[in-house]
Amino acid sequence: MEERFNFTVSRADTFPRVDERTDLKYHDKNVIHYDFSGVDDEVATGEIRCMCESLSQVGLQTEVRAGEDQSLLIFVRAAAELLSTEIYKSRVKDWLYSITKTQPQVDKKSKAQAAKFTFEAESLLCVYHLVTFSRENGGAGITPEFGRWENVKAVFPIHNEPANRQLLRHLSKRFFLTKDDLDQIRDLFGSKVAFYFAYMQTYLLFLSFPSVTGILAWAFLPKYSLIYAIITLVGCTMFLEYWKIVQADLSIRWDVKGVGSLKANRPKYRYEKVVVDSAGRPKHYYPKWKSFSRQSLQIPFFALCLVVLGVIITGVFALEILVSEAYQGPYQSYLEYVPTLILAAALPYINSLLEDAASWLAEFENHRTHDHHEMSVTQKLFVLSFIVNYLPILLTAFVYVPLGNQIVPWLGSQLPGTLGDKLDKHFFQKDPDRLRNEVIALTLTGQLSDMFEEMVVPYAMHRIRSWYHAYKSYRSHQASFNAVSPDDPMEKSFLRRVRRQASLPSYNVQDDISEMVIQFGYLALFSPVWPLVSVGFFINNWIELRSDFLKICIEHQRPHPTRTDGIGPWIHSLDALTWLGSISTAAIVHMFGTETGWSNTILGHTLGGVSWWSLPITIFVSEHIFLVLRAVVRFILQSVGSEEVRKERNERYVRRRKYMDELEAANRAKEMLDVGAVQRRKSVRMADSDIFWTKQVERGSSAETGVSLIKALGRDETLVLDKKDN
Ligand SMILES: [Ca+2]
């Protein structure tokens, strides 16, 4: 915590050779990128007037500069006073929705103090909300690429480049990130992005375990080892339960626990009418049956995807069988894997095509909040990636290898001419190594093509684009904006950087999370096939963590520091994958472990070797072992508990205790009244209309009366007793 970076930079960084005493801060600046190439001047002037008017109505300050081509950059910031009020307001809101437990103080001084203890992401988010929130919610209502603001290409915060550089340098020096490092990412990019890095970090830490056991299994255990499969599955389960605790921990640490309840409507959400409920709360009504029937469209969609992808993958397989079984020419052993390699390289592109269809479908489903919309997209993407990534391996493991001796001759009989004859005559040999090679090919090429798609392609595209840009303006001798309104030389380099950022795509953290979830799936589903796979993942992810940070810094617009309390629905995907892993690894060990000549598996023994009828039993048994195991792990880890939860509980106790003590102290203080107040009270009581209460007004007189009564009555009693004795 001590070495927080100061995210303000001196003005000299942005405007060289200028007064260095004034600070230029990045924390409150958003840029609106307005493109007027598609509309005529009249519309454009009208829109820009309206935009500036709306912005200044909310109290935002604006500066307009020329952008690339026919576009404008509208720099927006909030004055210090407005910003501190907004931050304060959002904190009060957080407290009202019990996202934070500490009540913000109301006086002016602490309000100013609150603004001082803010971090960059918080201020940026406030300004972003002021720009994009609807008027009813206190914003200027500027919604990029939607409605009347269709020509607004983007609203984005400016990268704090010095802070990015500093943090990247810091991250590359560390082997594992600490909580403070994650805090710094949160301060810069907001909790949504920071949770990705936190997940990545926890996952990387966990991967070191299967990497070590993987090397040991590879060296000492037989292929398709049951022991290794069990160890990996236990590891996966423990990791997942541990991550849930880490996530809860961080959500408390970053004051975002339950932040989903605070989300505003998406601008694209369409409702039929506004209904006011009994509490006087206006609600946007959209019929349940409509959204349900729209959502049920995803079932045929997935079925179609499964069929299309299934056909493509089976086609590639058939081609591969042809090459490996019927082709006897040179380079046969290499050519055999060419179709799989082509498939692996083509998968990301097929995937992105289907992703577009999925996001269109999610848009059609009309979700109210951005979170729900994103959740829906995410779930669809997960199912798609699941099919695309794992179907080839599942087909190989459970169809091609066990049933190949029936399929291949059949394929031969279907083919015309000599090709078919060759295939028919050629004796099909079962090759369990095929599965291993398949997994290696798919994971390795998958990692490489992901890296290529993430780093190389965007960079190349950007280079080509800017080159084309320069070429076009050179060829057309077009009067560039520089000729019309030259930049202030002091702002030149700053504007150049912002123009560059305006041309970059926005960042979507879900892509990166999805990549990691799919990778986790390979480990959970197919770990016994190739134990060394986790070593590759470990190395890849160590680099990936840093390269993803770099990617956000240089290849994307700075992400909006959106707040979330975790990685969202991905948790369920991970849960599903470990559960499926218990089935899939058991089946693989059952079928291949014994087939390679090693029938010493415990299950293989008890179930009498490998046979098809015993496969469901293996699956059933292992799945139930897994469910028990998960329950045990969950119980143990949750009783160990989270540090932040404990801290929060203690703080809550201290807070309550303090409140009660204060109440007590106040009561006691009232008891110790001064003489005048006692006198006043006495006279008030004397004047009471109920005479009953006016007899023992003097302090202590009630006690005295009581004592004298006891004495008197006691004497009486002794008298009575005396009488009895007599
Ligand atoms: Ca990535």
Q: What is the pLDDT of residues 224-283, one digit of tens each?
A: 788 888 888 889 999 999 999 889 888 888 888 877 766 667 777 777 777 777 777 777
Sole residue written with tokens 């493509």: 312
**462-471, 494-503, 668-677: range with highest mean pLDDT:** 494-503
Residue 429 pLDDT > 70: no
- List, in sequence order, the alpha helices (H) in 221-287: 226-253
Q: What is the pLDDT of residues 693-707, one digit of tens each?
A: 777 777 778 888 888
What pLDDT was estimated at residue 85?
81
Range with the lowest mean pLDDT among 17-31, 360-374, 453-467?
17-31
Pick the closest to residue 145 from 251, 266, 27 (CA basis): 266
Strand order in the sheet with 152-157: 60-66, 71-78, 30-35, 152-157
What pLDDT was estimated at residue 632?
85
Helix, strand, or coil here: 697?
Answer: coil
pLDDT band of residue 428 (cuts 50, 70, 90) is low
What pLDDT was estimated at residue 22?
40
| Ligand 1 centroid distance, CA of 550 (Å) | 10
Residue 52 pLDDT > 80: yes
Pick the closest to residue 398 from 106, 616, 674 (CA basis): 616
What pLDDT was estimated at residue 646?
76
Q: pTM of this prediction?
A: 0.78
3-state secondary structure 183-238: HHHHHHHCHHHHHHHHHHHHHHHHHHHHHHHHHHHHHHCCCCCHHHHHHHHHHHHH
pLDDT band of residue 419 (cuts 50, 70, 90) is low
Which H or E element spans position 709? helix 701-725
| Ligand 1 centroid distance, CA of 540 (Å) | 10
Quote the CA–CA distance of 715 and 693 in Å, as a whole number.
Answer: 28
What pLDDT was estimated at residue 18?
37
Residues 351-367: what's their mean pLDDT? Answer: 83
Residue 400 pLDDT > 80: no
| Ligand 1 centroid distance, CA of 355 (Å) | 17
| Ligand 1 centroid distance, CA of 350 (Å) | 18
Q: What are the C-alpha distances in Å from 85 to residues 29, 139, 420?
A: 17, 14, 78
For 82, the token pair is: 């407005």
| Ligand 1 centroid distance, CA of 543 (Å) | 10
Mean per-residue pLDDT of the chain? 78
Buried b (16+ CB within 10 A) or exposed e, 258-268: ebbeeebbbbe
* 637, 238 Cβ separation under 8 angstroms: yes
* 618, 224 Cβ separation under 8 angstroms: no
Quote the CA–CA distance of 263 and 371 in Å, as a whole number.
Answer: 8
Helix, strand, or coil here: 275?
Answer: strand
What pLDDT was estimated at residue 10?
40
Buried b (16+ CB within 10 A) or exposed e, 352-384: eebbeebbebbeebbbbbbbbbbbbbbbbbbbb
| Ligand 1 centroid distance, CA of 604 (Å) | 40
| Ligand 1 centroid distance, CA of 701 (Å) | 82
| Ligand 1 centroid distance, CA of 434 (Å) | 29
What pLDDT was estimated at residue 109?
63
Neighbours of ion ligand 1 (CB under 5 A): 512, 515, 548
| Ligand 1 centroid distance, CA of 548 (Å) | 5
pLDDT band of residue 421 (cuts 50, 70, 90) is low
What pLDDT was estimated at residue 388?
79
Quote the CA–CA distance of 517 and 514 in Å, as a whole number.
Answer: 5
For 613, the token pair is: 């009828």
| Ligand 1 centroid distance, CA of 348 (Å) | 13
User: Is the CA virtual torsion 628, 537, 206, 642 positive or negative?
Assistant: negative
Quote the CA–CA distance of 633 and 688 in Å, as a whole number.
Answer: 69
pLDDT band of residue 511 (cuts 50, 70, 90) is confident
| Ligand 1 centroid distance, CA of 517 (Å) | 11
Other CB atoms closer than 10 Å to residue 467's CB: what's the count? 10
| Ligand 1 centroid distance, CA of 217 (Å) | 28
| Ligand 1 centroid distance, CA of 512 (Å) | 4
* 131, 78 Cβ separation under 8 angstroms: no
For 576, the token pair is: 């599903």
Residues 378-393: what's their mean pLDDT? Answer: 82
Residue 476 pLDDT > 70: no
3-state secondary structure 630-659: HHHHHHHHHHHCCHHHHHHHHHHHHHHHHH
| Ligand 1 centroid distance, CA of 453 (Å) | 10
| Ligand 1 centroid distance, CA of 554 (Å) | 14
* 100, 91 Cβ separation under 8 angstroms: yes
Q: What are the C-alpha distances in Å from 380 to residues 91, 196, 234, 299, 358?
A: 34, 19, 28, 10, 6
Helix, strand, or coil here: 518?
Answer: helix
| Ligand 1 centroid distance, CA of 212 (Å) | 24
Q: Please spell the DSSP secondary structure of 454-482, one letter per residue.
A: IIIHHHHHHHHHHHHHHHHHHHHT---HH
Strand partners of residue 64: 74
Q: What is the pLDDT of residues 158-196, one digit of tens each?
A: 898 888 888 988 988 888 888 889 999 998 898 999 999
What pLDDT was estimated at residue 555?
86
Which residues, at least 6 apart from 440, have a Cβ–Cβ distance to it below 8 Å? 530, 533
| Ligand 1 centroid distance, CA of 454 (Å) | 7
Which H or E element spans position 79? none
Residue 599 pLDDT > 50: no
| Ligand 1 centroid distance, CA of 365 (Å) | 28
Q: What are the C-alpha distances in Å from 716 to residues 146, 391, 703, 724?
A: 96, 100, 20, 13
| Ligand 1 centroid distance, CA of 532 (Å) | 21
What pLDDT was estimated at residue 208?
92
| Ligand 1 centroid distance, CA of 524 (Å) | 19
Q: What are the C-alpha distances in Å from 130 to residues 64, 113, 177, 187, 264?
A: 18, 21, 34, 19, 13
| Ligand 1 centroid distance, CA of 450 (Å) | 8
DSSP 691: G
What pLDDT was estimated at residue 16?
37
| Ligand 1 centroid distance, CA of 541 (Å) | 9
| Ligand 1 centroid distance, CA of 552 (Å) | 10
Q: What is the pLDDT of residues 92-137, one digit of tens each?
A: 777 777 777 777 766 666 666 655 667 888 888 888 888 888 887 8
Which H or E element spans position 133? none
Q: What is the pLDDT of residues 324-354, one digit of tens each?
A: 766 666 777 777 777 777 877 777 777 778 8
Residue 387 pLDDT > 80: yes
| Ligand 1 centroid distance, CA of 609 (Å) | 43
Strands 9-10 and 23-24: antiparallel
Sole residue written with tokens 């935002």: 60
pLDDT band of residue 612 (cuts 50, 70, 90) is low
Helix, strand, or coil here: 2?
Answer: coil
Range with the lowest mean pLDDT among 9-18, 38-47, 116-125, 176-185?
9-18
Buried b (16+ CB within 10 A) or exposed e, 607-619: beebeeebbeebb
Residue 318 pLDDT > 50: yes
What pLDDT was estimated at residue 717?
58
* 4, 184 Cβ separation under 8 angstroms: yes
Share of the chain above pLDDT 90, in %: 6
3-state secondary structure 242-296: HHHHHHHHHHHHCCCCCHHHHCCECCCCCCCEEEECCCCCEEEECCHHHHHHHHC
| Ligand 1 centroid distance, CA of 373 (Å) | 22
